Amino acid sequence: MKKSYKIEVDCANCAAKMEEAAKKTDGVANASVNFVMQKMQVEFVEGADPEQVMKAVLKNCKKVESDCEIEF
């Protein structure tokens, strides 16, 4: 399952870091951050609960870039 989320991030390098962090989160099969569109596309592992996974994604992203936001 693939879903797209609106994000807020200020620098391109931080966006790349967020992508990395999201990819490493459990329950995420793949993730891609589109810095210019300010969107994150997340592909979930089969059977994962997007809501729960996104909470973890946000937490991991905050670790690498403290003032990023993800709307979900």
Question: Residue 39 has which token pair?
Answer: 């969107």
Contact between 10 and another protein (CB under 8 A)?
yes
The residue whose two tokens read 């809501």 is 51
Contact between 6 and another protein (CB under 8 A)?
no
The residue whose two tokens read 């946000």 is 58
Contact between 56 and another protein (CB under 8 A)?
no
Residue 31 Cβ, how far from another protein at the closest point, in Å? 10
Q: How many residues bind another protein (CB under 8 A)?
A: 19
Question: Residue 72 has which token pair?
Answer: 């979900």
Cα–Cα distance measured from residue 21 to residue 47, given in angstroms and rounded to the nearest whole number? 21
Among 36, 46, 47, 51, interactor with another protein by CB under 8 A: 36
Distance in Å from the first CA to the final CA of the chain: 15
Residues that bind another protein (CB under 8 A): 4, 10-13, 16-17, 32, 34-39, 41, 63-64, 66-67
